[in-house]
């Protein structure tokens, strides 16, 4: 007889899965049935655990295949149509042995067939079905309407009929797949089943109550959704915060591998194979037992709240829920005393356990209280120019003294039993402190002015032929804050951190985050205050020593970039560089003169070739020859002079490079 398992424990996670535990009793070899959605089968097959807790065993777990319903019905040996189901069934199982109860007796035999016969009914006749059975050696016919019970004695026929009916039943839930757990044992036993399936992410929401002279109160609710096809009735509910690794792996669909085709080939007889001897025997590996079901432990109550600045009541606020009625806070504290959350750390996860049974019906959701405790906090202002340029935000400086990990979620804030705003809370570990902004503070106005300048050079480094002067780029941001409220307020200014450092004369910030410095200011009632944030970063100016001139050296000396010895060395460098320049100019002039001489010689040779015979022309030719001899002597002198100048210029250039590279100085101004 099929036996059902009821859900006893549900654990919901933040990454979209749920852990479910079921328990139930079985007797003998009962079969347990569980129905799952087709999309959940991969998760179930990956995580299913089945235990017989009373000494029995689980012989097998079977589940519906992936074949379509039409194909499954086509493979069945029995087909029952919508109309005439009984007569159609009996006509399909000829030869099956049955036991029929007719009137007050029983008849056992094999089915011969089914036929329709006309039976007189008054003046007319009615066609009625008759079942023919082979009873022993006799053939007997019975009116089907007179048969009150028909038992199938052939096990094969009975199983085929049960398979057909179960398949048709599963068609009513097209997305449902049935899993059957076959058990083996004696007597009544308890069976445990657990698995993980996809589930909606549980959510959190908070309420913060502010009252004058009292610690703020934090109330937390968990929102859970039952989207399954089964009610959760008096289940043990736990909620886990964190992000464990989870994935979907296809185990449900059949998987086939392409196998290689191997041809038969003839080989010689194989010699005996002798395995190599091992160096040492491998030790046996023993499996360690692990706990299958983690137990939950109740945390000790949170420590008493340290006294701090109380959150003030707004002017004119009521202190009671109505004339002569109790305060809302008193009622919540009385009810909150009944909220007990069983919590524990599970590795990097945090678990909330509800201490009483929870009922959530199918396709319904529920709000479950998980927290009701006071905490350390105060009302402050937080200004961030990127959030709102003119006004700061009213915030609660919340220190998590509840002893619990607070999962992120929306927060509704009430002050003096009136709604004052909403906020979002990030995940908070115990003792973490966060600002929870819930409203714009229009009673405080902020204006911002910015300016930048270059500071004086504070360090000079001479090395590798260059002079580097380091200085500070200074940026000043002026915050002008005017508190128009009739009460003093605490303001935190968030100033962006973009790679600059605070100036030395700046006070240390109250807090530092990844993107901001937080400076704390106490504002008097109706007062105005100016606060300047000075930042600096390092700038550099580079000078190539091989290119500086006398004016540059004089500037370096006047600004104390260099000392007297370094300035003299730089002047020597300038002198050598000027000598190199002079030698270079002399080379250029001689090169130009030589080029002009070559050009004149070409003209003279051309004129000599064009002269004709005669006394006057001979005299002119001799004159041209004398001129060429004179130019040749000059060209030889120019070549010697160019060779000398090139050597002197190269030596001076090498001396200049050596002097420049040898200069070294570090000066802190």
Q: What is the pLDDT of residue 168?
A: 72
Residue 296 has pLDDT above 50, yes or no: no
Is residue 268 domain-resident?
Answer: no
**Considering the domain boundaries, does residue 102 fall inside one?**
yes
Indicate whether 255 belongs to any domain.
no
Q: Structural domain of residue 39, as residue ranges?
A: 2-91+157-198
Cα-based torsion angle of the residue sequence 499, 502, 504, 505 in order, rounded to the nearest 10 degrees: 160
Which stretch of DSSP H or E encloses residue 633? helix 615-662
Asked if the model's pLDDT at residue 294 lies above 50, the reply is: no
> What band does 298 get if pLDDT is binned at 50, 70 and 90?
very low
Per-residue pLDDT tens digits for 426-481? 888 889 999 999 999 999 999 999 999 988 888 999 998 899 999 989 999 999 99
What pLDDT, on a 0 to 100 scale, did the predictor assign at position 396? 92
Amino acid 95: pLDDT:
84
Q: Is 79 inside any structural domain?
A: yes
Q: Band the pLDDT of 286: cuts 50, 70, 90.
A: very low
**Cα–Cα dist 67/79, whole Å:** 18
**Same structural domain for residues 560 and 627?**
yes
Does the residue 416 lie in any domain? yes
Domain match, 66 and 113 both? no
Same domain, 87 and 182: yes
Mean pLDDT of 1-9: 75
Among the three residues 483, 512, 545, which one is the final residue of a domain in this structure? 545
Residue 20's pLDDT band (boundaries 50, 70, 90)?
very high
- Please state which of the ranges 8-17, 66-75, 225-234, 361-370 shows the lowest mean pLDDT: 66-75
Provide the pLDDT confidence category of residue 354 given band limits of 50, 70 and 90: confident
Which of 421, 440, 459 is where one domain is finished? 440
Q: Which two tokens stand for residue 410?
A: 């929306």
**Spatial separation of the C-alpha atoms in residues 359 and 355, rounded to whole Å:** 13
Lookup: tokens for 264: 């038969």
Residue 583 and residue 450 share a domain: no
Residue 345, pLDDT score: 58
Are 25 and 127 within one domain?
Answer: no
Last residue of a domain, one of 385, 412, 440: 440
Provide φ and ψ at 258, rounded to 5°.
Answer: -80, 120
608-652 pLDDT, tens digit each = 777 765 556 777 777 888 888 888 888 899 999 999 999 998 998
Distance CA 599, CA 608 (A): 15
* Alpha helices in 373-418, H assignment, sequence order: none
pLDDT of 313 reads 38
Tell me the pairing of strands 528-544 and 433-440: unpaired
Please report which confidence band the pLDDT of residue 422 belongs to, taking 50, 70 and 90 as the band edges: very high
414: in domain: yes
Indicate if 185 and 50 belong to the same structural domain: yes
Query: pLDDT band at residue 328, thresholds of 50, 70 and 90?
Result: low
Same domain, 566 and 620: yes
Task: Give the residue carrying structure tokens 């022993």.
Answer: 136
Percent of the chain with pLDDT over 90: 31
Rounded mean pLDDT, 35-45: 88
Q: How many Å apart are CA 252 and CA 44, to the nearest integer?
A: 9
Query: What pLDDT is attached to residue 613?
Result: 59
Please state, rounded to an integer, the average pLDDT across all residues of the chain: 81
Look at residue 413 and tell me whether its pLDDT is greater than 90. Answer: yes
Q: What average pLDDT score do residues 222-240 get?
A: 91
Task: Please check the confidence at residue 343 and state whether its pLDDT lies above 60.
Answer: no
Alpha-carbon distance of 9 to 235, in angstroms, equals 5
pLDDT at 315: 38
Residue with tokens 């989870």: 246
Question: For the chain, how far is it from start to end, CA to CA, in angstroms?
Answer: 96
The residues that bridge with 147 in the sheet, in sequence order, are 102
| Cα distances (Å, whole numbers) of residue 107 to 99, 104, 134, 461 | 6, 10, 10, 118
How far is the C-alpha of 43 from the C-alpha of 412, rounded, in Å? 37
591: domain CATH number? 1.10.287
Q: How far apart are CA 63 and CA 35, in angstroms?
A: 9
Residue 55: per-residue pLDDT: 85
Tokens of 524: 């008097």
Same-domain check for residues 24 and 164: yes
- Cα(475)–Cα(468) distance, rounded to whole angstroms? 22
Residues 178 and 90: beta-carbon distance below 8 Å = no
- Which token pair is 471? 């200085």
Residues 394 and 499 in one domain: no
Residues 216 and 178 in one domain: no
d(Cα 53, Cα 328) in Å, to the nearest integer?
Answer: 49
Cα–Cα distance, 625 to 618 (Å, whole number): 11
Quote the radius of gyration of the chain (alpha carbons, Å). Answer: 50
Residues 83 and 108 both lie in one domain: no
Is 258 a member of any domain? no
Residue 333: its pLDDT value, please?
54
Residue 591 domain-assigned (yes or no): yes
Q: Are residues 594 and 625 in the same domain?
A: yes
pLDDT value, residue 203: 92
Q: How many domains does the chain have?
A: 5
């Amino acid at each position: 007889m099929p036996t059902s398992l009821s859900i006893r424990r549900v654990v919901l996670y933040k990454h979209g899965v749920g852990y479910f535990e079921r328990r139930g009793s079985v007797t003998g070899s009962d079969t347990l049935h569980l129905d799952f959605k087709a999309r959940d089968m991969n998760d179930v097959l990956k995580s299913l655990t089945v235990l017989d807790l009373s000494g029995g065993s689980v012989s097998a777990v079977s589940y519906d295949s992936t074949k379509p319903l039409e194909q499954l019905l086509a493979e069945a040996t029995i087909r029952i149509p919508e109309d005439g189901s009984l007569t159609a069934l009996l006509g399909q199982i000829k030869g099956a042995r049955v036991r029929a109860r007719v009137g007050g007796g029983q008849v056992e035999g094999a089915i011969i067939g089914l036929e329709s016969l006309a039976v007189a009914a008054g003046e007319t006749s009615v066609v009625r079905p008759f079942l023919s059975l082979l009873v022993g050696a006799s053939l007997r016919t019975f009116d089907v309407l007179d048969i009150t019970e028909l038992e199938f004695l052939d096990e094969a026929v009975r199983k085929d009929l049960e398979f057909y009916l179960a398949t048709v039943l599963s068609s009513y839930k097209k997305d449902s797949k049935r899993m059957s757990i076959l058990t083996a044992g004696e007597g009544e036993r308890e069976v445990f089943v657990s698995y993980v399936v996809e589930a909606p992410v549980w959510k959190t929401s908070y309420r913060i109550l502010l009252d004058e002279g009292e610690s703020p109160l934090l109330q937390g609710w968990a929102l859970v959704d039952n989207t399954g096809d089964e009610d959760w009735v008096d289940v043990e509910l736990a909620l886990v915060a964190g992000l464990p690794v989870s994935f979907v792996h296809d185990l449900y669909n059949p998987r086939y591998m392409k196998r290689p085709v191997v041809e038969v080939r003839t080989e010689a007889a194989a010699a005996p194979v002798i395995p190599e001897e091992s160096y040492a025997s491998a030790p046996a590996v023993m499996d360690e037992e692990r706990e299958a079901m983690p137990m939950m432990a109740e945390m000790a109550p949170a420590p008493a709240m340290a006294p701090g600045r109380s959150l003030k009541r707004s002017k004119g606020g009521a202190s009671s829920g109505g004339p002569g009625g109790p305060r809302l806070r008193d009622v919540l504290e009385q009810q909150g005393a009944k909220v007990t959350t069983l919590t524990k750390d599970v590795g990097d996860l945090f678990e909330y356990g509800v201490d009483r049974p929870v009922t959530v019906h199918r396709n319904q959701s529920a709000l479950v209280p998980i927290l009701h405790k006071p905490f350390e906090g105060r009302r402050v202002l937080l200004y961030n120019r990127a959030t709102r340029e003119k006004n700061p935000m009213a915030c609660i400086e919340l220190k998590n003294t509840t002893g619990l990990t607070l999962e992120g979620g929306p927060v509704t804030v009430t002050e003096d039993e009136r709604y004052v705003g909403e906020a979002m809370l990030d995940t908070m570990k115990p003792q973490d402190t966060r600002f929870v902004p819930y409203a714009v503070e229009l009673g405080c106005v902020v204006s911002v002015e910015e300016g930048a300048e270059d500071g004086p050079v504070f360090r000079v480094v001479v090395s590798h032929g260059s002079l580097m002067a380091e200085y500070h780029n200074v940026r000043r941001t002026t915050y002008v804050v005017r508190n128009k409220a009739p009460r003093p307020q605490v303001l935190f200014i968030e100033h962006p951190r973009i790679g600059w450092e605070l100036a030395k004369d700046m006070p240390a910030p109250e807090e530092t985050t990844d993107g901001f410095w937080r400076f704390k200011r106490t504002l008097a009632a109706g007062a105005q205050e100016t606060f300047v944030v000075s930042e600096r970063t390092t700038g550099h100016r580079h000078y190539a020593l091989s290119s500086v001139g006398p004016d540059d050296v004089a500037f370096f000396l006047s600004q104390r970039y260099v000392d007297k010895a370094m300035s003299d060395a730089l002047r020597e460098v300038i002198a050598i560089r000027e000598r190199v320049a002079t030698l270079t100019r002399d080379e250029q002039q001689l090169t130009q003169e030589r080029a002009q001489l070559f050009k004149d010689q070409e003209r003279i040779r051309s004129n000599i070739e064009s002269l004709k015979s005669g006394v006057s022309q001979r005299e002119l030719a001799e004159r041209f020859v004398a001129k060429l001899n004179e130019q040749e002597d000059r060209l030889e002198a120019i070549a010697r002079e160019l060779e000398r100048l090139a050597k002197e210029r190269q030596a001076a250039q090498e001396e200049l490079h050596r002097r420049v590279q040898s200069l070294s100085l570090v000066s802190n101004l």
